[in-house]
Amino acid sequence: MHEFLLSAATFFENDVLVGLFFFAGTAIVISLWIPGFLLPIAASSGAVLDAWAGSTAVACGALVGSMAIFATSRRIGRDRLPSKLVDFIHRFEHQFRSHGAWCVFLLRLIGAPHFLVSAGSALMLIRARYFALATLAGMVPGILLAATAGSSLAA
């Protein structure tokens, strides 16, 4: 995959287009619930671009993908869920309302499954802006670390 990304970078020969490529690719991968690709994409973006530009493109793409999952899950809502799952959600809802942003931040920081955090947060009725801020704050350290590692490998 690394060779493919390097050939894509030489094809575009423009850092802005390559950044948009990483942004769109990350948003698509995250919104399609494909697990395990966020950090390899971040490392590749750091190798092709630099650590800051790569991590910015990947973090923004991951945020867009997370918000797509969040919005879709919020639109589907609880009315289509089985009653046992709704009862399970009700047990945690009070704590999640008061500490939801911290929960999302910590789950993103430890690398919990992306889809479960995004969809679960939408069903817990956390505000979208708090979800977005907590998601971004929780993902940026890992993305920046992977992009820096990719950048140092390319040097």
pLDDT at 14: 77
Distance in angstroms (rounded) separating the CA atoms of residues 57 and 51 = 10
Q: Identify whether the C-beta of residue 41 lies closer than 8 Å to the C-beta of residue 58.
A: yes
**Number of compact structural domains in the chain:** 1
Domain extent for 122: 2-154
* Other CB atoms within 10 A of residue 24 CB: 14
| CB-CB neighbours of 13 under 10 Å | 8
Residue 12 has pLDDT above 90, yes or no: no
pLDDT tens digits, 85-144: 667 777 777 777 778 899 999 999 998 998 989 988 888 878 999 999 999 999 999 999
Q: What's the predicted TM-score (pTM) here? A: 0.84
- What is residue 31's predicted lDDT score, i.e. its pLDDT? 94
* Res 6: pLDDT: 64
pLDDT in tens, 45-56: 999 998 999 999
Predicted confidence at residue 65, as pLDDT, reads 96
Of residues 49, 46, 25, the one with CA closest to residue 37: 25
Contact (CB, 8 A) for 129 and 67: no
Residue 17: pLDDT band (50, 70, 90) is confident
- Residue 8, pLDDT score: 58
Give the Cα separation of 111 and 123 in Å (integer).
20
